[in-house]
Structure 1
Amino acid sequence: MSNVEIEITQKRELHTKLWKMANSLRGNMDANEFKDYILGLIFYRYICEHEESEFKDKLHIGIEELYKTNPAQCRDIAILNLGLGYFIEPQYLFDRMVETIKTGDFELEILSNAFKAYSNSTKGQESEEQLSKLFNDVNLTSDKLGSTYKEKGELIGKLIIAIDEINFDFMNSKIDLLGDAYEYLIGQFAASAGKKAGEFYTPQQVSKLLSMIVTKDLTDVKCISDPACGSGSLLIQVADRLKEKDGKFIHIYGQELNTTTCNLARMNMLVHKVDFNKFTIHQGDTLKAPSADQREYGKMDIVVANPPFSANWDPNSTMEKDDRFSGAGKLAPKSYADYAFVEHMVNSLSANGCMAVVLPHGPLFRGNAEGVIRQYLVETRNYLDTVIGLPENLFYGTTIAACICVFKKNKTDRNVYFIDASKYFEKGKNQNILRDEDIQRIMDAYASKKDIDKYAHLASIEELQENEFNLNIPRYVDTFEEEEEIDLNEVMAEYHRLDEEDKKITEELNKYLEELGLPKF
């Protein structure tokens, strides 16, 4: 079974359970609200199971046994020695909570106290900034859970039991459990939620492609960055790809505007076994208020992003003096922040690093300020390495086709490679899918930089200049298929043959009609 088939199977199983859980809450609240409860409780189950397995695998002792002997020591071992950055007391572990629900002893206060105890365990620790507020969006006092304290507890109890029934294999899953669950919940009820999952989540296969591109020539890196990280799926894929190559990274940096999604990204890091001291996810507006890490010039060896397509931003006089945007002499338009994100990313990219960004096609050819910035990046700085056209309808929330632009600061030539991969995909029910073979086709071309008929072309700087730095892919990759020439004589001969055949059939039919005494044709 291929990875894609395994992913589809795992997603189907997850979605069935999520649908069941979502329906238990759907009448009370919209998807944007109940996803916080479902994702929060899935994550809580994970950190409980992870804590238990760490004690058993590394210390060869059960957490309850050690806690009975010395609670303070048990807490310090979990936070410091095992490097978890948090501690969950045995009485608050997920499976203990399930037991209390089944025996009828569960009360909402137990979960509320569990969340508080978890948060307090991070206070004063190195992990506090990243881990202390992860359950802030799980509002256990909301009237939408029920009108009485008992009703609220019963509904949360049902959710916990439903989550317990899911056969999560956190360590061996081929899918991004939290990210995919998020996408599914928003996708199913987008109308009521008023949100687009695509703003926060990059499909697994697209993330895989980007991660393969940026790690192709890199193995050991210092810093990985995503300035519009959403649920963190891209960062996770890059980290996994480096591990597959026996490579390593020192630190992951992300920034996300949405507070809830920022916490989701932090959860996702832990679920994918990225230690808390190896990632920093900031909450805030990357363009307006980048973190110190994001702003630093040349810090990141790998930069990836799927920023919101053609978003609005505020290109004011302050931005004109910002080193990230001042080089081209023009700011990205107010209604199209695409190049603002690109320039921010390029600014943070190290001299020998690699950057890959998902963009709509508009930035490839739109004029005015965007044309000036595009020419600056291509001609003046010589940073653009490759443009890859993707199939349409890969992303949730939009059917438009997107592209991937690859940037490097250490290019040895002035060429730009164009790949038109728009026709290679599997048609899906809601979204199209990039198959493993489609990704490999792209990677083979990207590695070779050779001209491939109707698929790829290495454009010289002279060609780019002739096209006035319009990067629209069809200008460089001709995918036109000539229609088969029609032989008019052959068509007419076939027409006459069919006409004669029709006359014979009509004559035969009229004979039968005459015998029956019926009118002829």
Structure 2
Amino acid sequence: MALTADKEALIWKTLNETRGKIEPSEYKNYIFGVMFYKFLSEKAQNWLNEVLRGETWADVWQQNPEKSAGFMQRTLGYVIQPGDMFSDWKTAINEDKFNIMMVSDALVHFDQGVSPDAKDNFAGIFTDMDLTSSRLGANAQTRTATLMAWINLMDKMELGEEADILGDLYEYLISMFAANSGAKAGEFYTPHQVSDIMARILTAGRENLEEYSLYDPTMGSGSLLLTTASHMKNAGVRGAIKYYGQELITTTYNLARMNLMMHGVEYNDINLRNADTLNGDWPDGLVQGVDNPRMFDAVMANPPYSQKWDNTNREDDPRFKFGVAPKSKADYAFLLHSLYHLKSDGRMAIVLPHGVLFRGAAEERIRKELLENRHIVAIIGLPEKIFTNTGIPTIIMVLEKNRATDDVLFIDASKGYEKQKNSNKLREEDINKIVQAYLAHHDIDKYAHVATMDEIRENDYNLNIPRYVDTFEEEEPVDSAELLDSMKALSKEENRLTTDLKEMMSDLVVTHQEDQQILDELREVLDYE
């Protein structure tokens, strides 16, 4: 059973009470680290309970540490030694024997015990937990007390090992940390409502595929991958869905690795990489001079908007055969990389700023190539202020590689949202309207238009949404006679009130010179005689 909103809010409130002076953007690294270690520890303990048949892990380990490590490694991809379990930390706290070195040593042991074929999934995943940081406390004693508070907090959550509950909590906390991390939120979070629109579009009509491959070249915390997979029939079936993702920022890459595994994805279905997507092609790509890229059923991305990049010597890069994006704006570089890795029958969705629809020069040439080659399926205009890191309005662009038609569906969804304190939120009805309009693929008055290529050529390949979707609402005609009557009535009321005020002022008795001065000024304003 999923967490209730009340339970989530209580957990967030309790977390904040233990944060102290640590900034939310940094605090999340510790909280997610402790939470993830608890998850791995309980997973290992549950597996041991099934296979040891009454023996203790400590006894088995003592008999043959190397064999015991290999035993756990082959199944789980990692090893947690006796004494290093989360439950061991909790026992030490209860017996007043805990110190911060227990955690530090356990994390070192964990890194040493990762299986060679699981290195990409587990190695260095806890490096963002700096246990020597002065923010945890001025000395080892205070840092130990801080860590004890977090361990006790995680222990009290009593979430169990259910992937849906853990995953829901993790996703909720990511959203809350994003909301409290200012501009840094853009590094790791795409609002679930946007992810859901993209996921439903990507999987529409394909939900029953037995196998499905996903790729997000700017994956952040991995929410787009997970949301897309959740709409597939075989979500949760080992080996059915393969997850590929790339992320430049190491801290965010670690968040994504934790996020996928906390949602129950097995480590051997995960292929994530900590690198610059634009500097070198991955997955696969050029190997010993031969271009052999890996292709995917679905590609999704929410890249950093209009980011600078090194575009020198890119003309021979097969990813950019339609053109090289300007060095001041990498939007089309991310788009072309994503399209390059799409299967011939795949589908792609990417979030971009509006500028990609109408900017000129190199971007105009790329846009023209994409249109003439029938790659752009739809452009969906979203409301402003729905992302935590920017207030600008954005679009979702949907692309495919092999289309029979060359028209483009334009959807103006910029006015469908719920206004909140400092942001706007897409409601369920807004999401449904967008997806249904995409699937219907026909004109909807004031909302959607299917533009022919002739229309687009007439607009010089400018894709600015207002050129295609007219959302203008005519104002009701003004009844001039009624307006005149209203103005006369207002004037009459004004005269009455002025007369009443003058009469009241006539009755005033002034005892101070200052009051007389004020009264004289009022008389002047009212043209009093």
Normalised-by-shorter TM-score class:
0.7 to 0.9
Residue 67 of structure 1 pairs with residue 40 of structure 2: no
Does the 8 Å CA contact 2:167/2:259 hold for their aligned counterparts?
no
Report the Cα offset of residue 402 of structure 1. Answer: 0.7
Report the Cα offset of residue 293 of structure 1. Answer: 3.5
How far, CA to CA, are the matches of 1:114 and 1:517 in structure 2?
87
1:83-102 maps to which residues of 2 (within 5 A)?
83-102=75-94
Aligned counterpart, 2:256: 265
1:207 to 175, 191, 195: 195
What is the root-mean-square deviation of aligned Cα atoms in Å? 3.0
How far, CA to CA, are the matches of 2:4 and 2:413 in structure 1?
22
Does the 8 Å CA contact 1:310/1:335 hold for their aligned counterparts?
yes
SS of alignment partner, residue 9 of structure 2: helix
Does the 8 Å CA contact 2:236/2:265 hold for their aligned counterparts?
no
What residue identity is the alignment partner of 1:160?
A: I
Residues 450, 246 of structure 1: alpha-carbon distance in 2 compared, 3 angstrom cutoff: farther
What residue identity is the alignment partner of 1:496?
A: K
Residue 150 of structure 1 pairs with residue 147 of structure 2: no
Cα deviation 1:136-174 (Å, max 9, x = unaligned)? 221223344333322222221122222323354653339
How far, CA to CA, are the matches of 1:449 and 1:228 in structure 2?
28
Please identify the structure whose Cα radius of gyration is greater: 2
2:226 to 231, 236, 247: 236
SS of alignment partner, residue 213 of structure 2: strand
SS of alignment partner, residue 292 of structure 1: coil
2:297 to 289, 301, 310: 301
What residue identity is the alignment partner of 2:242?
A: H
Identity of aligned residues (%): 37
Does the 8 Å CA contact 1:66/1:74 hold for their aligned counterparts?
no
Does the 8 Å CA contact 1:414/1:460 hold for their aligned counterparts?
yes
Residues 510, 310 of structure 1: alpha-carbon distance in 2 compared, 3 angstrom cutoff: closer
How far, CA to CA, are the matches of 1:294 and 1:484 in structure 2?
59
Residues 13, 415 of structure 1: alpha-carbon distance in 2 compared, 3 angstrom cutoff: farther
How far, CA to CA, are the matches of 1:174 and 1:216 in structure 2?
27
How far, CA to CA, are the matches of 1:246 and 1:216 in structure 2?
19
How far, CA to CA, are the matches of 2:110 and 2:151 in structure 1?
17
Structure 2 stretches lacking a partner, 5+ long: 287-291, 511-522
Report the Cα offset of residue 18 of structure 1. Answer: 2.7
SS of alignment partner, residue 298 of structure 2: strand
Report the Cα offset of residue 8 of structure 1. Answer: 5.3
Give the TM-score of the pair, scaled to structure 1: 0.87
Does the 8 Å CA contact 2:93/2:148 hold for their aligned counterparts?
yes
How far, CA to CA, are the matches of 1:419 and 1:223 in structure 2?
28
Report the Cα offset of residue 180 of structure 1. Answer: 4.4
Stretch deviating more after TM superposition (257-266 or 155-164): 155-164
SS of alignment partner, residue 304 of structure 1: strand
Aligned counterpart, 1:449: 441
SS of alignment partner, residue 324 of structure 1: helix
Residues 201, 93 of structure 1: alpha-carbon distance in 2 compared, 3 angstrom cutoff: same
SS of alignment partner, residue 478 of structure 2: coil
1:424 to 412, 416, 419: 416
1:322 to 317, 324, 334: 317
Does the 8 Å CA contact 1:298/1:351 hold for their aligned counterparts?
no
How far, CA to CA, are the matches of 1:199 and 1:160 in structure 2?
27
Stretch deviating more after TM superposition (388-397 or 154-163): 154-163
What residue identity is the alignment partner of 2:362?
A: A
How far, CA to CA, are the matches of 1:501 and 1:139 in structure 2?
72
Cα deviation 1:89-138 (Å, max 9, x = unaligned)? 353222331232233110112111211222222143x2123212111221
Aligned counterpart, 1:79: 73
How far, CA to CA, are the matches of 2:350 and 2:24 in structure 1?
29
Cα deviation 1:330-366 (Å, max 9, x = unaligned)? 3111111000000001100000000000001110111
Cα deviation 1:195-253 (Å, max 9, x = unaligned)? 52112211111111111110112232442100001111111111212147899844211
SS of alignment partner, residue 385 of structure 1: strand
Aligned counterpart, 1:20: 17
Report the Cα offset of residue 510 of structure 1. Answer: 8.1
1:81-480 maps to which residues of 2 (within 5 A)?
83-124=75-116, 126-168=117-159, 171-173=163-165, 176-185=168-177, 187-190=179-182, 196-219=184-207, 220=209, 221-243=211-233, 249-293=240-284, 296-297=292-293, 299-317=295-313, 319-325=314-320, 327-328=321-322, 330-379=323-372, 381-480=373-472
Cα deviation 1:401-422 (Å, max 9, x = unaligned)? 1110000113221110011111
How far, CA to CA, are the matches of 1:105 and 1:227 in structure 2?
45
Stretch deviating more after TM superposition (408-417 or 422-431): 422-431
Residues 89, 441 of structure 1: alpha-carbon distance in 2 compared, 3 angstrom cutoff: same
How far, CA to CA, are the matches of 2:272 and 2:105 in structure 1?
26
What residue identity is the alignment partner of 2:108?
A: K
Does the 8 Å CA contact 1:176/1:204 hold for their aligned counterparts?
no
How far, CA to CA, are the matches of 1:512 and 1:167 in structure 2?
72
Cα deviation 1:356-381 (Å, max 9, x = unaligned)? 000011101111110000010111x1
Report the Cα offset of residue 390 of structure 1. Answer: 0.7
Does the 8 Å CA contact 2:236/2:264 hold for their aligned counterparts?
no
Stretch deviating more after TM superposition (253-262 or 148-157): 148-157
SS of alignment partner, residue 309 of structure 2: coil
Does the 8 Å CA contact 1:36/1:137 hold for their aligned counterparts?
yes
Cα deviation 1:263-293 (Å, max 9, x = unaligned)? 1111111101111000111111100023334
